[in-house]
Chain A
Amino acid sequence: MTESKRNLLNKVWDAHTVRELPSGQSQLFIGTHLIHEVTSPQAFAMLRERGLKVRFPDRTFATVDHIIPTDDTERPLKDPLAEAMFVEIEKNTKEGGITFFDQGSGHQGVVHVMGPEMGITQPGMTVACGDSHTSTHGAFGAVAFGIGTSQVRDVLATQCITMKRLKVRKICVKGTPQNGVNAKDIVLHIIRTLGVNGGTGYAYEYAGPTISDMDMEERMTLCNMTIEGGARVGYVNPDEKTFEYLRGRPYAPQGEAFERAKEWWKSISSDEKAEYDDIVHFDASIIAPTVTWGINPSHAIGVDENIPSSESVSEDERGSVVEALEYMKLSPNAPIAGTPVDVVFIGSCTNGRISDLRAAAEIAKLGKVADGVKALVVPGSQDVERQALAEGLPEIFRNAGFEYRQPGCSMCLAMNPDQLVGDQVCASTSNRNFKGRQGSPTGRTLLMSPVMAAAAALTGKVTDVREMLK
């Protein structure tokens, strides 16, 4: 019986397929649509051009995150272009009857932080957003993926998109991570191993004891980075942790409906004997704190390793290594530990949640930000901000010499005033180390976990946080 061997992706896919199209793609119903100010204005304009209306306004939720300043959020925003984008999403959500979490709502934040904490993201849903890190929501056992602006238009107009069914690769992780090693290190290690385009055509199902042990926020970090390995979707089967996280959240089912929901959520999980297109295994116990040295997230090494040289890699990788070394101005074969940093950024949809701030604060307590280092802590949302305040985290950061800011994407992609200058090196908890990503065309990004970034802030250089935790 095929019924007993299905994985979550296929179950969710079937449950949401309106019809199969002649192109071989599916017309897929989108349960939750999230929008932000950067990739939605053109979609609304296209909708108007065609005389179409938002078909399911209560299935779309909006926030502002990318362009928001993290120091002075007074309206009108100082940057007229940013202000124009803000006005546009206000207008579009009002006209479309869409719920908009702006600062006044008390729930504004990076879209992938806001959705889960409001209980909007739930198991078994299809979630789409004009943003590649929509994969984050897979942490709940949702099938969640980034879409382009024309597809945002499609969802607004029809609550559907056309998409080809993905293959599924099961990524089994076992082993207890070392002290100081967390989801960020594990996912950087996976991307390093499978490559930046290793996941093309696949959804990644993360499974195994290490994943079961992770809390929901770690699972979000893991799924968030999935797109950096070329897989559009990453997910974890929902379990009791998932259900407990959701219980009582504003948009989660309440009371008896919650119990009924739980039964459905369990039913859409991968069957015990589910079939996969591919299975790979990792041992988390041997993973060191992992840091990127180059210009894409697969350019990652353990903090105790040396930066590669063009001779130390396969011919296939040579070109990319040479280009990366030149851009990063790093010496081949030198240890990555000890690389000086100018800026530290703790935040983003990868690592801007309360557990990330807590972990970084534990390190911040151990010292002061090194001379000459600018260290920025940016909570992922207003909810994170409130919780952090209740726990006294801002004070810990400020006492240690960090700047503590207001929620937004901030220096993850620097569409607001938080930007690198010149060829500054930034230890960043975000997800992309592309050339110019953090706002300066020559800026250099080293991706790492929140504890590693906090450690770098205190020492002014890439530091093995395991030493500090001894």
Chain B
Amino acid sequence: MSSTSVEKITGRGCPVPGNDIDTDRIIPARFMKVVTFDGLGEHLFEDAREQANGKHAVDDKRFEGANILIAERNFGCGSSREHAPQALLRFGFKAFIAQSFAEIFAGNCCALGLPAVCVSEADGKALADAVELNPESEITVDLVAEEVRCGETVYPASIPAGVRKQLVEGTWDATAVLLEAGGDIETKASSIPYVQGF
């Protein structure tokens, strides 16, 4: 099974302010008592939304239908739970823009074919402000050009070269890529002392 190429995502943005938004905040652990990822979207940011009394960005009518989340620094820190990007995906987000991402979160996004691109602090703020001002702005996360476009403005965006290649070439489905190694996997295993029982 091969995956599809992801070159760009176009749509509207939803700015979620705050640094270090952790995976427990994205999807509180009590909603992880599930054996499938279906239905996780409903509980996205549940506690934060509850505490914001309906004023959380994802409940803001102006950003309804947005498919690009604009975060700040170290987004997705904490646990390895893929439930976090799965909840974001099921809520409707198809791409993420931030100043930085936690490593495991970014890896999980790639495994789902979801681009997570970094912009500078100044550009991140400018982009969030532009969307706040005009929520209807069309945003494009362009992996080929390595930029984010919003209206007339172009912001340089970065994504690790390997991840970019995987997304653009449609090789982000790792299982398919890994299986291509065929018997080399067993050959490698037989060269590792502990696998052979020393």
- Show the binding face of A for B, using Cβ within 8 Å: 15-19, 21-25, 27, 29, 31, 38-39, 41-42, 45, 50, 52, 55-56, 59, 67, 79, 81-82, 84-85, 88, 122, 124-125, 130-132, 134, 146-151, 153-154, 157-164, 196-197, 200-201, 227, 230, 232, 253, 257-258, 260-261, 264, 296, 319-320, 323, 413-415, 432, 434-437, 439, 441-442
For A89, give the chain B residue with the smallest CB separation: B35
- Which residues does chain B contribute within 8 Å of A50, judged by CB atoms? 1, 175
Contact with A along B46-63 (1 / 0, CB 8 A): 111011000000000000
Task: Report how far A437 CA is from B198 CA in the complex, Å.
Answer: 42
Task: Report how far A31 CA is from B198 CA in the complex, Å.
Answer: 13
Question: Is B81 in the interface zone, CB < 8 Å from A?
Answer: yes
What are 7 pairs between A and B in contact, CB < 8 Å?
Answer: A148-B81, A150-B174, A153-B175, A159-B189, A197-B77, A253-B194, A260-B198
Task: Report how far A131 CA is from B80 CA in the complex, Å.
Answer: 5
Question: Is B122 in the interface zone, CB < 8 Å from A?
Answer: no
Task: Report how far A125 CA is from B190 CA in the complex, Å.
Answer: 14
Task: Report how far A253 CA is from B195 CA in the complex, Å.
Answer: 11
A441→B28 contact, CB < 8 A: yes
Task: Report how far A149 CA is from B32 CA in the complex, Å.
Answer: 12
Chain B proximity of A350: nearest CB distance (Å): 14
Which one of B5-13, B137-145, B159-167 contacts A?
B159-167
- Residue with the greatest number of chain B CB neighbours at <10 A, chosen from A27, A39, A82, A434: A434
For A153, give the chain B residue with the smallest CB separation: B175
Question: Is B133 in the interface zone, CB < 8 Å from A?
Answer: no
B178→A31 contact, CB < 8 A: no
A436→B28 contact, CB < 8 A: yes
Instruction: Determine which of B20, B181, B191 lies in contact with A296 in the assembled complex, contact meaning CB atoms within 8 Å.
Output: B20
Instruction: Determine which of B22, B81, B181, B198 lies in contact with A264 in the assembled complex, contact meaning CB atoms within 8 Å.
Output: B198
Task: Report how far A132 CA is from B82 CA in the complex, Å.
Answer: 11
B32→A200 contact, CB < 8 A: no
Contact with A along B25-39 (1 / 0, CB 8 A): 100111011111100
B25→A435 contact, CB < 8 A: yes
Task: Report how far A50 CA is from B175 CA in the complex, Å.
Answer: 10
Instruction: Determine which of B35, B73, B171 lies in contact with A41 in the assembled complex, contact meaning CB atoms within 8 Å.
Output: B35
Contacts known (A42-B37, A148-B108); A441 close to B50, Cβ less than 8 A = yes
Contacts known (A147-B104, A161-B178); A415 close to B35, Cβ less than 8 A = no
Chain B proximity of A127: nearest CB distance (Å): 11
- Which residues does chain B contribute within 8 Å of A79, judged by CB atoms? 33
A296→B194 contact, CB < 8 A: no
Question: Is B16 in the interface zone, CB < 8 Å from A?
Answer: no
Chain A proximity of B172: nearest CB distance (Å): 9
Instruction: Determine which of B46, B160, B165, B178 lies in contact with A22 in the assembled complex, contact meaning CB atoms within 8 Å.
Output: B165
Instruction: Determine which of B24, B47, B77, B174 lies in contact with A161 in the assembled complex, contact meaning CB atoms within 8 Å.
Output: B174
